[in-house]
Amino acid sequence: MNPVRFALALTAVLGVTCIANADDQAVLNLAGVRFQHATNQNRSSNPDQIDASDGYRYVITGSVRGESGILGILYPNATPIETILETFQPGSSEALADEVYNAGGALPIEVQNQRFEGSTVLLGITVTFGATLAAGIDANGFVYFTMTEVVMLPSSGPLRLGTMVFTSGSVTMTRIPAIAGDMNWDGLVNNFDIDAFVFGLSDPVLYTTAYGFSPLYPGDINRDGEFNNFDIDPFIECLANGGCP
């Protein structure tokens, strides 16, 4: 469809008001979660729930304190988890915050599953840290956090790496407030979204800067995981039929 025909077709369509979901954020408490060799940990935000959505932003944050061994000596006071991760694996802390697209909005969804590991020299001893951290939302809308395959070596003796614990922290999951077709993020799907739709198609980077979110979230009308020309006709149909499915 050429741009002129596209614009003319859209301007002939009436708008529709859409209703947003109510529970837009859930927070999981990480205080007390312990990093210990060969010890798995898991937490849930239950009873705090979050609604299903086409997109989420998550942030894993907190401070940890060494309890024993070398970690107890180096980090006797609460230290940001980002600092600890960067000590063992530079650049790894970037994975503690991100956005995830969830085409179709179904739960459950896993938003993070990454292996953090590395070796370094602490107090003249070569030590190794490793853990797989995963986070997401289960089928009931509860945020979950797991830590598995924990390696903290040396794990014994007077020069062991030791253990550390979250003194405070959280996994915060927030819905990206997208409504299919609401390209200008005003809570409505109507003719005022036409220019924003074209903007998103022509320059998604500038669109993201302007609106704070990728055009993928409201623009992937056909739910194929992409925002492209194949969403033009579904967008027109959304407006013509009084809303998107």
Q: Same domain, yes or no, for 189 and 92?
A: no
Q: Same domain, yes or no, for 156 and 214?
A: no
Closest CA to 84 of 98, 70, 101: 70
Closest CA to 60 of 25, 31, 95: 95
Q: What is the pLDDT of residues 55-71, one digit of tens each?
A: 999 999 999 999 999 99
Q: Same domain, yes or no, for 135 and 103?
A: yes
- Of 134, 159, 175, the residue at which a domain comes to its end is 175
Enter the pTM of the model: 0.84
Q: What is the pLDDT of residues 3-22, one digit of tens each?
A: 434 443 444 343 333 333 34
67, part of any domain: yes
Q: Span 43-48, mean pLDDT? A: 97
Return the SS3 of 128.
strand
Look at the chain and report how many structural domains it folds into. Answer: 2
Q: Same domain, yes or no, for 42 and 132?
A: yes
Q: What is the pLDDT of residue 140?
A: 96
The structure tokens listed for 115 are: 């292996």
Q: What is the pLDDT of residue 59?
A: 97
- Of 156, 175, 194, the residue at which a domain comes to its end is 175
Q: Same domain, yes or no, for 160 and 193?
A: no
Q: Same domain, yes or no, for 186 and 131?
A: no
Give the residue carrying structure tokens 């009084």.
242
CB 130, CB 117: distance < 8 Å: yes
Q: Same domain, yes or no, for 147 and 108?
A: yes
Q: Same domain, yes or no, for 39 and 158?
A: yes
217, part of any domain: yes
132, part of any domain: yes
Q: Span 173-185, mean pLDDT? A: 94
Q: Same domain, yes or no, for 47 and 144?
A: yes
Q: Same domain, yes or no, for 42 and 160?
A: yes
Q: Which range of residues forms the domain containing residue 230?
A: 182-235
